[in-house]
């Protein structure tokens, strides 16, 4: 659906400023911006710039702003050559200055939404970003929140801060929610071709936000409200969390039955309907899947609903790093070795394959657990050169036969394609494979899960 001037002009509110903004969006004279230049914000800014907009990226991290202005990408999905070209042509610039919001017509907020120590939502980054927008809000601006959060955030948290300016939503300025759906490292689905869900505070807000994203996103899906859009993201990732928990529990069960869980899953995949394959692993990682179900559970409890399935899935998944540590200890014990004093090489510390994102990576918890048990832990990851963990700074080491031969156990935590699995299998005393990376190897030194 393509929205036009007639549609927007017909709206009861926002007739004049909405029409003016609509025209700016269409003719690419709208000055646009992204607050938060991380895994979501920088790729989004890139698409805006490629579509012909003048983009201002805002981030409190000076290193990120400087890197963008130098045309050097720190995100694997954003090629430095592309970024450099857009910077050189004046399409993208970055700043720490939040006052830059005042000169922007459309602003997308892409800041983190972590969990607090008690697994409750931490909206401090969102609130700080929205307050910065409020301080420089003017008529005719479109504000879109992309940060993952619970249903009601846009209307109950974001909107009151902005309306404190005295301006009226849907008339003087426009607010919508559009959940990010970035999948780091995915070469097939990128920011540009992943469908974008959008829900505005008013009909006019939805129309303008939809029109804006249609200029650089292939498919845009308008919904009736920001609450629906917020719930969409939580459903998507809770679906994955619950099904991964089932796969993890099946793996634990299969171990007791001495059944190869990977073979079970591969055979189940042959059913052409009613089954979708999910896989076990050392735990959940990334910013979304480990976090989103807790956002939903918290909101549910605030409304008197007990989300028992969601919480049970979270409990199962959260136990997998500790199980992995125990599995390493058991595997070494079977070979007359103690975990304490053993040398362990962790392959991969990013939360997913072929990515450099370590946010909430289960590998970090596994490594910490191994250290606490007295093991000497090393790691290799082509995408993560260094790592701060257990009050130590670790450096990624190169995988060569001599290194492998010196290890008591090689532990596969992230199955990067760059690893030479044949060479690793040939020179390792013991391999504990948590990602089925050695599916094609049948040596007695390989334990899968």
Q: pLDDT tens digit string along 189-230?
A: 999 999 999 999 999 999 999 999 999 999 999 999 999 999
Kindly state whether residues 119 and 64 are assigned to the same domain.
Answer: yes
Query: 308 lies in a domain?
Result: yes
Distance CA 281, CA 386 (A): 23
| pLDDT classification of 5: cutoffs 50, 70, 90 | very low
Kindly state whether residues 301 and 444 are assigned to the same domain.
Answer: yes
Query: 94 lies in a domain?
Result: yes
Kindly state whether residues 89 and 139 are assigned to the same domain.
Answer: yes
pLDDT of 204: 97
| pLDDT classification of 250: cutoffs 50, 70, 90 | very high
Instruction: Name the nearest CA neighbour of 42 among 220, 191, 159, 166.
Output: 191
Instruction: Name the nearest CA neighbour of 383 among 345, 436, 344, 419.
Output: 419
Query: 241 lies in a domain?
Result: no
> Has residue 12 got a pLDDT over 90?
no
Residue pair 72/80 in contact by the 8 Å Cβ criterion: yes
CATH number of the domain that residue 14 is part of: 3.40.50.720
Structural domain boundaries, residue 94: 5-233
Average pLDDT estimate for 90-97: 97
Kindly state whether residues 121 and 193 are assigned to the same domain.
Answer: yes
How many residues make up the chain in this entry? Answer: 449
Residue pair 218/6 in contact by the 8 Å Cβ criterion: no
Residue pair 200/230 in contact by the 8 Å Cβ criterion: no
What is the average pLDDT score of the chain? Answer: 94
Q: What is the DSSP letter of 201?
A: S
Query: 114 lies in a domain?
Result: yes
pLDDT of 69: 98
Kindly state whether residues 153 and 21 are assigned to the same domain.
Answer: yes
| pLDDT classification of 3: cutoffs 50, 70, 90 | very low
Query: 255 lies in a domain?
Result: no
pLDDT of 15: 58
Kindly state whether residues 50 and 111 are assigned to the same domain.
Answer: yes
pLDDT of 26: 97
What tokens were used for 177?
A: 């929610």
Kindly state whether residues 87 and 223 are assigned to the same domain.
Answer: yes
> Has residue 104 got a pLDDT over 90?
yes
Kindly state whether residues 284 and 220 are assigned to the same domain.
Answer: no
The count of domains in the chain is 2
Average pLDDT estimate for 342-366: 96
Helix (H) or strand (E) holding 182: none
Q: Which of 110, 254, 288, 409 is catalytic?
A: 288
- CA torsion angle 134 138 142 148 (round to 10): 0
Average pLDDT estimate for 258-276: 97
Kindly state whether residues 195 and 279 are assigned to the same domain.
Answer: no
Distance CA 234, CA 218 (A): 22
Distance CA 89, CA 104 (A): 19
What is the three-state SS of 331-346?
HHHCCCCCCCCCEEEE
pLDDT of 10: 39
Instruction: Name the nearest CA neighbour of 410 among 440, 438, 369.
Output: 438
What SS3 state is found at 417? coil
CA quadruple 414, 416, 421, 424: dihedral positive or negative?
negative
What tokens were used for 317?
A: 């998944």
Residue 166 phi/psi, 5° resolution? 95, -10
Q: pLDDT tens digit string along 121-173?
A: 999 999 999 999 999 999 999 999 999 999 999 999 999 999 999 999 999 99
Residue 31 pairs in a beta bridge with: 54
Q: pLDDT tens digit string along 277-297?
A: 999 999 999 888 999 999 999
Average pLDDT estimate for 258-268: 97
Q: pLDDT tens digit string along 161-176?
A: 999 999 999 999 999 9
CA distances from 299 to 111, 225, 226, 295 (A): 20, 17, 15, 6
Q: Return the biggest CA–CA distance within the chain.
A: 78
Kindly state whether residues 20 and 131 are assigned to the same domain.
Answer: yes
Distance CA 390, CA 365 (A): 9
Average pLDDT estimate for 332-353: 97
Question: Residue 97 catalytic?
Answer: no
- Per DSSP, the chain holds a count of helices (H) and strands (E) of 17, 15
| pLDDT classification of 344: cutoffs 50, 70, 90 | very high
Query: 342 lies in a domain?
Result: yes
226-257 helix and 308-318 helix, angle to the nearest 10 degrees: 50
Kindly state whether residues 311 and 436 are assigned to the same domain.
Answer: yes
Least confident of 60-69, 80-89, 180-189, 346-355: 180-189
- Residue ending a domain, among 179, 213, 233, is 233
Helix (H) or strand (E) holding 322: helix 320-333
Query: 244 lies in a domain?
Result: no
Instruction: Name the nearest CA neighbour of 198 among 167, 184, 177, 181.
Output: 177
Single pTM value for the model: 0.92
Kindly state whether residues 219 and 279 are assigned to the same domain.
Answer: no
Query: 120 lies in a domain?
Result: yes
């Amino acid at each position: 659906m393509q929205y036009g001037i007639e549609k927007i002009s017909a709206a009861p509110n926002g007739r004049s400023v909405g029409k003016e903004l609509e025209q700016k969006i269409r003719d690419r004279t709208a000055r646009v911006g992204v607050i938060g230049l991380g895994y979501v914000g920088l790729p989004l800014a890139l698409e805006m710039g490629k579509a012909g907009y003048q983009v201002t990226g805002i981030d409190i991290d000076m290193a990120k702003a400087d890197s963008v202005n130098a045309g050097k990408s720190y995100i694997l999905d954003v090629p430095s050559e592309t970024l450099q070209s857009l910077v050189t042509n004046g399409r993208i610039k970055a700043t720490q200055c939040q006052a830059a919001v005042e000169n922007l017509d459309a602003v997308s907020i892409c800041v983190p939404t972590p969990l607090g120590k008690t697994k409750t939502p931490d909206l401090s980054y969102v609130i700080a970003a929205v307050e910065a927008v409020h301080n420089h809000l003017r008529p005719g601006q479109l504000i879109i929140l992309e940060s993952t959060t619970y249903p009601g955030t846009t209307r109950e948290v974001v909107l009151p801060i902005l309306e404190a300016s005295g301006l009226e939503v849907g008339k003087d300025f426009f607010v919508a929610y559009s959940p990010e759906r970035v999948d780091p490292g995915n070469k097939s689905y990128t920011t540009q071709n992943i469908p974008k869900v959008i829900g505005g505070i008013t009909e006019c807000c939805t129309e303008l936000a939809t029109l804006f994203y249609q200029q650089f996103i292939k498919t845009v899906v308008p919904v009736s409200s920001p609450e629906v859009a917020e719930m969409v993201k939580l459903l998507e990732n809770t679906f994955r969390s619950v099904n991964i928990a089932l796969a993890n529990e099946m793996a634990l069960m299969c171990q007791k039955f001495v059944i190869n869980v990977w073979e079970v899953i591969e055979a189940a995949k042959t059913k052409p309907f009613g089954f979708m394959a999910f896989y076990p692993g050392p735990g959940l990682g990334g910013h979304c899947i480990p976090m989103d179900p807790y956002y939903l559970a918290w909101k549910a409890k605030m409304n008197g609903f007990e989300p028992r399935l969601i919480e049970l899935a979270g409990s199962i998944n959260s136990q997998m790093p500790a199980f992995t540590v125990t599995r390493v200890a058991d595997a070494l014990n079977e070979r007359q070795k103690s975990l304490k004093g053993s040398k362990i090489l962790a392959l991969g510390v990013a939360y997913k394959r072929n990515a450099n994102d370590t946010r909430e990576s289960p590998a970090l918890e596994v490594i910490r657990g191994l250290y606490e048990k007295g093991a000497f832990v090393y790691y290799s990851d082509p995408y993560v050169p260094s790592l701060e963990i257990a009050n130590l700074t670790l450096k990624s080491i190169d995988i060569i036969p001599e290194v492998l031969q010196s290890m008591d156990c090689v532990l596969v935590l992230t199955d990067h394609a760059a690893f030479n699995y044949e060479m690793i299998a040939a020179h390792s005393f013991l391999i504990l494979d948590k990602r089925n990376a050695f599916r094609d190897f049948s040596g007695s030194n390989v334990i899968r899960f």
